[in-house]
Structure 1
Amino acid sequence: MFAAATSFFARSNISASYNLSSSSTPGSRSSTPGPSNSSSSPTYSPPLNIGLWRVQSATHKVTNKRVSVWSFDKRSPEMERLRPLAKDRTLEVLKAEASSLTRLRHPSILEMVEPLEDTRTELIFATEPVLSSLELSIPGMGRTPIVDLDEVEIQKGILQICKGLSFLHSSAQLIHSNLGTESIIINSSGDWKIAGLGLTIPLMAPGGGPTRWEFPTFDGHVPSYIQRSFDYMAPEYALDEQLLTASDMFSLGCVIYAVHCKGRPPFKNHGSLSGLRDNAGKPVPAMESLDPDLQNLLRTLITRQATSRPTPTTLPSYPFFSSLPISTLNFLDRSTFATKTREEKISFMKGLASVLERFSEGLRTRKILPSLLEEMKDTHLLPYILPNVFSISNILSAPQFAGMVLPSLKPLFVIKEPPQNMLTLLDNLLMLQNKTDKNTFREQVLPLVYNALESEHAVVQERALKTVPELCESIDYAEVQGVLFPRVAMVFSKTRVLTVKVATLTTFLAMVKTLDQSSLTQKLVPLLSKIRTKEPAVTMATLNVQEAMGMKVDREAVATLVLPQLWTMSMGPLLNLDQFQRFMGVIRKLGERVEEEHKQFLRDSQRLEDRSATAMNGNGSQAAGSVDFASLVGRANGASVKPDSEASTGWDDDPWATMLNDDPPSFQTSPAMPTSPVTLPPVRSMPSSPQQSTFQSRPSPLGGGASTATPTPFSFPSPPLSRPSLNSMTSAMPAFPSGPPKPNYNISLSTTPIMSSNPQPQPQPPKPNYNISLTPSAPMAATTPPMFTSSPMMAAPLTMGSGVLAPSKPAQPSWSTASKPSKDDWADFDPLG
């Protein structure tokens, strides 16, 4: 409980209000972080050790503002080893540093965000986001530089330090007295800031007199961070006991030398006053490899005579700072750029694109880009600012672009004037798509294309139309179908500019492979049919669209919609011979496609009909034109099957059973057609009765055995009957009533082939024709075999009525009373089979 209470009271307001990188989900540090006011998700830098301070990235829990939190642990092992006086001195210098940052406000001095909090266990305050100290960014110090420094960035940083020193000397009346590589901080924008203000010396004492000079000492038992470094100390301070602002310029010269010489100061004094005295009059060593202008600058700064050194205001005029990139940065500085005229700003933005490559990526990203984004508020400068913004954006990652640049570009997507803005944005549409995710591009960037299509300037519409083909391949089909295509169609319908009309047709050509057949036939084809101009450029562009569309839609649409339009347009009076032949080639190409596909469709339809007919008529149906069953069976068994004839057909069963149970052949009769008799096996005699006048066909006897009944001859009437199914005929016949004996008939069948009225030969083999004559016969003896005769002249016609086949004469008894059949004789008889 005591530990929990101690932790609670030791907790600061900063730790309660901010998410520190060590206590929140850390992200990988970006090589080119964006500005501190970026609305994107924060990227945390790893903790830094600057002097005695531990610096961590943090984000405010409410506002998401990014800061750097500086903390010093009072219980650290370093503090435990110090004597009480050393501890007090350490805490005194650290508190003075934080208090100075709170009191001193200048663009070149590290900005304090949250004031110092002195808790039981630590000192803590928050500043603007920090990337590194200058010491940690100098190459050759045995570590990987946190920030890559090039010559331009070094020159820019030195000039910024000069501005900060000028403020301290003239406005604050302070001498820094401890300026070195560890007391210069590089913020997230790449600016150099003055820190380490815990040992500043005021020029005037609180009572109004000059400040009392203090003898410099160096204690090896005290942290070096809270002591003045003898390697950067001006000789007049240590040797002449003078308090001069020029001493800071000597220290600045040592810093410039260390930056260009891998972190080594010009002289190593090792904390000794005698060493400083020995090196005070010596020339600056090892400068042969440095730039001549830099050598000249260092000789004027690192000198024994304080009065010969340049001041912070005169240093920028030296030739070392006269390069074009430095002049560019000076011109773009926020404090001076606002005072320039619009014509000067336009000239500057035009020339900036030619010198951007001379700046490092970090400098372009951290320094130049934020300045350009701030100037985008002036819409008249946008056509000249945007090319530079997109040039720098190419080196940004997608998250950096989305956080830094896209929020400033989004308001421009709806601004149609001046048209140069739209043209520049459309020229960089591919880069915008690559730098944003799919949803962001659809919701925030695509409105740019839609607004450009609605522009009143033809050149903007043409540029927007040129971007559509690539968009069709990258965005969702629903977006193309429901939003993009209707807008392009609207431009096509309203424009009166020939170049825009041709551009829309070119766009339609690219959209053909994306749109479905329904959209093409229901929307695009009617749209193209409304073209009234005869200009060859429009006509030929339309031909290309129709050709591509004709190879995608179905054959009916090609035949009924596309080809008629092509024929009409081919008659255009302004077409030359080559253009007309191009039309004819497309027409033939599409016509051949329609012909081949429709022929195949008809073949498939006929094949389907044949299969359906076969399925309905049964297997082996000769009437449907299928393969002859007998021939099929004969080929399968390797032998031929003889056709049914008078000599080869054996009638073991009743013929009526065959005709009733199987699919019957066509029954037709004609008086002029000869018949040939067919002898049938004998059938059982049946008694006839005058009361029985209904004719019923007799089935085959069951159980084998010859019948003894004697039939009487009968025949079908003329004219020939139609071809009903015998099964259907018999299904309508009433059943035989039980009662008196039935009449007997002599049946003669003819196998004369049926003669069709159609003179064309039939593919089916001839089928037997049965001329059946039915005449009552005289009673015959039971032992007399029945005789079946066939005659072309029928004794009496039969009448068809109510589905019943009846004889024309009264029924005659067919057997004598002496031989009446018994009840058992009718036991197996079924007249309908």
Structure 2
Amino acid sequence: MLAAASSFLNRSAIGQSYTFVSQSGSQTPPAGSSKSVATVPTFHVGLWRVQHAVHKTTGRHVSVWSFDKRSQDVDKLRPATRERVMEVLKTEATALSRLRHPFILEAVEPLEESRSELTFATEHILSSLALSIPSGPRSSALVDLDEIEILKGVIQVGKGLEFLHTSAKKIHSNLNLQTVLFFISLQGDWKLGGLGLTIPLTQPDGSPTRWEFPTWDSRIPHYTQRSFDFMAPEYAIDEQLDPSSDMYSLGCIIYAVHVRGNPPFKNHGSLQSLRDNAGKPLVGMEKLDPDLQALLKSLITRHPTPRPSPATLSSASVFSSLAISTLNFLERSTFASKPREEKIAFMKGLKGVLDRFSDGLKTRKILPSLLEEMKDTQLLPSILPNIFVISSSLSAQQFASLVLPGLKPLFAIKEPPQNMLTLLDNLKLLQDKTDKNVFKEQVLPLVYNALESEQPLIQEKALGCVPDLCDTIDYAEVQSVLFPRVALVFTKTNILSVKIATLKCFLSMVKTLDQTSLTQKLVPLLSKIRTRVSSSLATLDVQEAMGLKVDREAVASLVLPQLWIMSIGPLLNLSQFNRFMEVIRKLGARVEREHAQHLRDSQRIEDRSTSNVNSTPLPFSANNRALDFESLVGTKGGIATPPTAPDAVPSNSSWEDDVWGSMLGESVETKAVSVIRAPSSQSLPASPHNFSAPPVRASTPRLAAKSPIPPQSSLRTTTTLDSRPSFTIPPPPMAGPRPLSPRNLSPPSQPSKPNYNVLMQPMSPQSGSTVMSPPLGSMLSPSLSASSSGQSFNNILLPTPAQSNWGTQKTNGDWARDFDPLA
């Protein structure tokens, strides 16, 4: 059956023009709905199946009503009865197309009939009253009704009945809950429907309409029969056609809504039960409001005379509360015609009574009326606060579909300024109710337009929103869009409060901006600020935060100089000056710490590089002597290499290198010295007369101690023009080691300065006298010794041996004079 219905709808004009979304969540939820479209089920009103649909071109939401002629409820009927049921359904559809009233259901598409279907479309309805009765047997919780909304709906139905009685000259005659003829629209209004059994008060010729005897057949669908539970006694008993009969039925509906859907009297389709219950007192009203009890007693009466008319219904005391009066004043049919001054006064007072209404009523009834009035920009300062109060209870999806489209055009309107101030005050709500991308594309322009305003109050309000935005929007938006706009306000404004507000924005941006922007853009901006106490202290906070993020060079060269200049401002007191000093010391300590570490790191790298260079092998000869260019390229025969002692042991004393290197005027690393060790059995007592020079580290192997050096006179030194000085060591004598003494050494040929190249020998145990070592110059290796005439080698002039009497023993004074390096 459903497949056939869908097939027909696709072939009909309505099916081709509308998209049915009752079973799909891809469409926008209907305004005022507490749930999304995907959760709003298709429901039934009597024999009608109601589906939600959206026009493919205009996007208008409608409700499509369809009836299947082949349904079991109709197929089992006799042809005459079936024809009667079809006539009632067609009359209802056509009556809705002819009648136009705010509280009568509006037909959007006329009735279409085929072999198997009856179809028409009306304005979109959210639910039926039978499905919305609090704690009712058929309640679907689609709409949660409260007392205010029920009373307001009763007034709307009364206005619909007034139009039906006075203008259409008809009696409804079928108001009841079973047929569910009250509808709740998108705007929270109650709509009057079920017009298939209306009775005209007069015939086309002007004569009164003849009364028809009421009947009830359980085999016929209830929707096409008048219910005896809601029928007025005068119609069944007195055979009268009176418009007041509809007011009796309305009273029964009010009673049933408050008593879980139960009518005041259950007649079970029996005319006799209806006659028996007529005029009986109402029961079960003890918990109802006294004013509501009085209204029900005036409507549910045996005779129509004491009943209020639809025009006087709203004057009952139960409808005199402030909440009901507020909804009546906001009625769209009358509110548009009220003067602007009354509208402004109403909107200002509305915010104080909104808490008396349920969230559903505010969303379905009040919010749509407010959104319609937003076309008048002069009313916006009074309307917007109420809209944001209602929006706080909306879901993000509802806010995006209901409120945001109406607010978006206001983001660029700068006059009156109160509009933008109200929008900025509720920027957090806008951000919470919108998606991140939607907020960036549609809401952030509000802040940008406010920053460009000529009103300082608006600029200051917009700047106050920036710190929160920096924590929520992405880095690129802050870096490329928000920061330049705030900087532009900073450079142009002359208002101190706005200037301070921009500094607070900069403080919040420091953690977001990169070092380049801080150094190249923000620091120059801060340098232009004039010295005032409030602005300088705000600048100090920015400089402190920025000084902890930029590099030390920027702190030392840009930040600290500005702080020093500002710290000596004439308007600062002692505590404020101390605050500047605290920041200056803090940033200065950072510069000192980081730069010292930088220098230590640089020195470490430099030392490591030098060590690597010195450890690189150079073109040295076998005895570690540097080669000259001619020897390196092979034009000479090379350098003579002295014999290597097998047991030479190098010294490990760096002090020796320093002392003897300085005395020789040569670098220990580049000038190798061969030193002959004395026998280990000999020792020299420590005394001023017995000075024993520490051994010099030799780069070349030393001669073994068991190969004594002959006297200086026996050393034959040969020097040629083509070769370097060298000497030949004669073979040692066979008689064993011979101790060296001044008597064994020949004195120098010419006098000179005191000889520093002296190596002292241990004291002779036989004579007790000091045995002097030969001049150190005579013990150098041939490649490093110089001639007695002061011949230089490797650009180093070695001192000649001192003129002294080596054959005699020196006194303390003579030795000290000859050895004194300062003589």
TM-score (norm 1): 0.76
Q: 1:127 is paired with a residue of what secondary structure?
A: strand
Q: What is the distance in 1 between the residues matched to 2:28 and 2:380? A: 34
Are 2:621 and 1:660 equivalent residues in the alignment? yes
**Residue aligning to 2:155:** 159
1:131 CA displacement? 1.4
Contact 1:176 1:197 in 2 (8 A): yes
Conservation of the 8 A alpha-carbon contact between 2:42 and 2:52: yes
| 1:18-57 → structure 2 map (5 Å cutoff) | 18-21=18-21, 24-25=24-25, 32-33=32-33, 45-57=40-52
Kindly provide the CA deviation profile for residues 546-578 of structure 1, in whole angstroms up to 9, marking residues without a partner as x.
111111111111000001111111111111111
Match of 2:98 among 103, 123, 143: 103
- Residues 103 and 159 in structure 2, CA contact (< 8 A), matched pair in contact too: yes
Report the AA paired with residue 373 of structure 1: L
Amino acid at match of 2:175: L
Compared CA separation, residues 461 and 612, structure 1 to 2 (3 A): same
| Secondary structure in structure 1 of the residue aligned to 2:228 | coil
Where do 1:238-637 residues align within 5 Å? 238-531=236-529, 533-618=530-615
Asked whether the equivalents of residues 665 and 767 of structure 1 are also in contact (C-alpha less than 8 Å), the reply is: no
Deviation for aligned residue 1:189: 2.0
Q: Distance in 2 between matches of 1:201 and 1:388?
A: 44
CA contact (8 A) 1:28 1:45 kept: no
Alignment of 1:793 with 2:787, yes or no, is yes
2:612 and 2:248 map into 1 onto residues whose CA distance is 111
Question: 1:363 Cα deviation (Å)?
Answer: 0.7
**Of the candidates 60, 69, 72, which is equivalent to residue 65 of structure 1?**
60
Name the CA shift for 1:203/1:603 in 2 (closer, same or farther; >3 Å): same
Give 1:83-102 correspondences, 5 Å limit: 83-102=78-97
Amino acid at match of 1:775: T
Offset, 1:785: 6.6
Change (3 A) 1:661 1:481: farther
Q: CA 1:448/1:774 → structure 2, altered by over 3 Å: closer, same or farther? A: farther
* Equivalence for 1:183: 181
What is the DSSP-based 3-state SS (H/G/I as helix, E as strand, rest coil) of the residue aligned with 1:147? Answer: coil
The answer as to 2:127 corresponding to 1:132 is: yes
Q: Measure how far apart 1:245 and its partner are.
A: 0.8
1:367-415 Cα offsets, whole Å, 9 max, x none, are 1011111111111111111110000000111111111111111111111
SS of equivalent residue, structure 1 residue 461: helix
Match for 1:598: what amino acid?
H
Is the CA contact 1:110–1:127 (under 8 Å) kept in the aligned structure 2? Answer: yes
Is the Cα contact below 8 Å between 2:161 and 2:310 reproduced in 1?
Answer: yes
- Any conservation in 2 of the 1:30–1:43 contact (CA below 8 Å)? no
Report the Cα offset of residue 76 of structure 1. Answer: 1.6
- Alignment partners' CA distance in 2, 1:693 and 1:539: 79
Change (3 A) 1:483 1:765: farther
- Cα 1:19–1:10 change in 2 (3 A) is closer
1:709-728 to 2 correspondences below 5 Å: none
Q: Are the equivalent residues in 1 in contact too, given 2:556–2:591 (CA < 8 A)? A: yes
**In structure 1, C-alpha distance between the alignment counterparts of 2:164 and 2:635, rounded to whole Å:** 143
1:77-134 per-residue CA deviation (whole Å, 9 max, x = no partner) reads 2222222222211111111111111111111011111111111211111111111111
Structure 1 residue 17, shift from structure 2 partner: 2.0
Distance 1:56 1:5 in 2: 12
Deviation, structure 1 residue 425: 0.7
Match of 1:697 in 2: 639
| Aligned amino acid, residue 538 of structure 1 | S
1:77/1:698 CA distance change after superposition, 3 Å:
farther
| One-letter amino acid of the structure 2 residue matched with residue 697 of structure 1 | I
AA at the equivalent of 2:143: V
Q: What displacement does 1:664 show?
A: 4.9
Partner of 1:170: 166
Q: How does 1:717-796 map to 2 (within 5 A)?
A: 750-751=674-675, 767-768=697-698, 775=719, 792-793=786-787
Secondary structure of 2:196's aligned partner: helix
Over 3 Å counting, the alpha-carbon distance change for 1:26 and 1:472 in structure 2 is closer
SS of 1:376's equivalent in the other structure is helix
Name the amino acid aligned to 2:639: S
Structure 1: distance between partners of 2:407 and 2:623? 88
In the alignment, what sits opposite 2:114? 119
Q: What CA deviation, in whole Å up to 9, does each residue of 1:412-468 have, x standing for no partner? A: 111112221111111100000011111111111111111111222211111111110
Shift in Å, 1:786: 12
Deviations 1:706-725 (A, max 9, x none): xxxxxxxxxxxxxx999899
**RMSD (Å) for aligned C-alpha atoms:** 3.6
Q: What residue identity is the alignment partner of 1:227?
A: Q
Following the alignment from structure 1 to structure 2, what is the Cα–Cα distance between the partners of residues 377 and 10?
A: 38
| CA 71–474 in structure 1, closer or farther in 2 if over 3 Å, else same | same
**Partners of 1:28 and 1:44 within 8 A in 2:** no
What is residue 744 of structure 1 aligned with on the other side?
none
Q: For 1:288-330, what per-residue CA distance to the aligned partner results, in whole angstroms no more than 9, with x for missing partners?
A: 2211111111111111111221110011001011010110011
Q: Is the 8 A contact 1:42 1:66 kept in 2?
A: no
- Say if 1:427 and 1:666 are closer, same or farther in 2 by CA, change over 3 A: farther
Offset at residue 582 of structure 1 (A): 1.1
1:147 and 2:143 are equivalent in the alignment: yes
Distance 2:450 2:200 in 1: 62
Return the alpha-carbon distance in structure 1 between the equivalents of residues 129 and 13 of structure 2: 30
Asked if 1:218 corresponds to 2:216, the answer is yes
Conservation of the 8 A alpha-carbon contact between 2:295 and 2:316:
yes
Cα deviation for residue 581 of structure 1 reads: 1.2
Q: Shift of residue 487 of structure 1?
A: 0.9
- Runs of 5+ consecutive residues of structure 2 not aligned to the other structure: 629-633, 647-663, 678-693, 703-715, 734-778, 796-823
Q: Distance in 1 between matches of 2:729 and 2:124?
A: 132
Q: How many angstroms apart in 1 are the aligned matches of 2:8 and 2:306?
A: 57
Instruction: Report deviation, 1:208.
Output: 2.2
Residue pair 1:47, 1:55 contacting (<8 A) in 2 also: yes
CA distance in 2, matches of 1:552, 1:765: 58
Residue 303 to residue 774, structure 1, CA distance change in 2 (3 Å): farther
Residue 306 of structure 1 aligns to a residue whose secondary structure is coil
Equivalence for 1:641: none
Q: Distance in 1 between matches of 2:533 and 2:426?
A: 33
**Partner AA of 1:186 in structure 2:** I
Q: Shift of residue 14 of structure 1?
A: 1.4
Give the superposition deviation at 1:476.
Answer: 1.0
Unaligned runs of 5+ in 1: 36-40, 624-656, 668-691, 705-719, 728-747, 754-763, 802-833
Contact preservation (8 Å) 1:18, 1:58: yes
> In the comparison of the two structures, how many residue pairs are matched?
684
What SS class does the counterpart of residue 183 from structure 2 fall into? strand
